[in-house]
Amino acid sequence: MLCAEVSLYPQKTTQASEIINTSVQSLAKHGVNFEVGSISTHLHGTDEQVWSALRSMFDLAKDKSEVSMVVTLSNAAH
């Protein structure tokens, strides 16, 4: 089981909320469990699910604007 806390920061755009929401919605396609917070999103699943979900979030955001993504990963049981 891999756990991640991720924050996405679109830059140079007036559409930041839309970009973040679209990226977060993509998580459902990867089979990860996730919970959206006010500043970050927590997700967990298999290694492949989490890495795939993070890649998807970043790819969707980078296609819309410049973006920074901060991720903290853990394999500790939660």
pLDDT in tens, 21-37: 999 999 999 999 999 99
Query: For the residues 7-23, what does the mean pLDDT come to?
Result: 94
What is the rounded average pLDDT of the residues 1-13? 95
- Would you tell me which CATH number, out of the four given (3.50.50.60, 3.20.20.70, 3.40.50.920, 3.30.70.930), belongs to the domain 2-74? 3.30.70.930
Q: Where are the domains of the chain?
A: 2-74
pLDDT digits (tens, 9 = 90+) for 37-61: 999 999 999 999 999 999 999 999 9
- pTM of the predicted model, to two decimals? 0.90
For residue 47, how many other CB atoms are within 10 A of its CB? Answer: 11
Confidence of residue 78 (pLDDT cuts 50, 70, 90): low
